[in-house]
Amino acid sequence: MNKSRFLAVVLGAMALTTLTQCFTDKQNQGQKLYVQHCQSCHMEDGSGLRGLIPPLAKADYLQTHRDELACLIRNGADGPMVVNGIEYNKEMPGVHTLRKDEITNLLNYIQTNFGNNNKRYTMTEVEEMLEICPVPHGK
């Protein structure tokens, strides 16, 4: 095998390896995290549980509290919140084990599904929000 053909094969193999890494499960990570951590309460369609657990589907809260959502996912919520004009007061557990990239992907999934067409988050934006999260009581 001559040098140019060998080089072409090596470069082709490198390109193929790089390309396949672009199509990992990361592209569906937000949905997978939603199913794993959120769906049991907020339902498969994001509708919540009437009168008990707020909806994520077409939820005004996602826009009016945008800067708080990363902390909400990490630390949970305790106390009343109003979503689409209805007050909810059910404790939501946080998911302390999620990394900032996972929180970003989860938020972007919620922001762009369930009838929501909200602005997506950047990793830098989520990182900045997480840096200023209030420490939950008892932690």
- Dump pLDDT digits (tens) for 92-134: 999 999 999 999 999 999 999 999 999 999 999 999 999 999 7
C-alpha–C-alpha distance, residues 44 and 56, integer Å: 10
In angstroms, the Cα distances linking 122 to 101, 119, 127 are: 9, 10, 9
How much is the pTM? 0.79
C-alpha–C-alpha distance, residues 48 and 121, integer Å: 23
Q: Residue 84 corresponds to which tokens in the numbers above?
A: 């689409």
C-alpha–C-alpha distance, residues 103 and 111, integer Å: 12
Tally of domains within the chain? 1
* Domain limits for position 73: 23-131
Q: Answer whether residue 62 is part of any domain.
A: yes
CATH number of the domain residue 111 falls in? 1.10.760.10
Q: Answer whether residue 63 is part of any domain.
A: yes
| Average pLDDT score over residue span 8-37 | 67
C-alpha–C-alpha distance, residues 50 and 90, integer Å: 12
Q: Answer whether residue 138 is part of any domain.
A: no
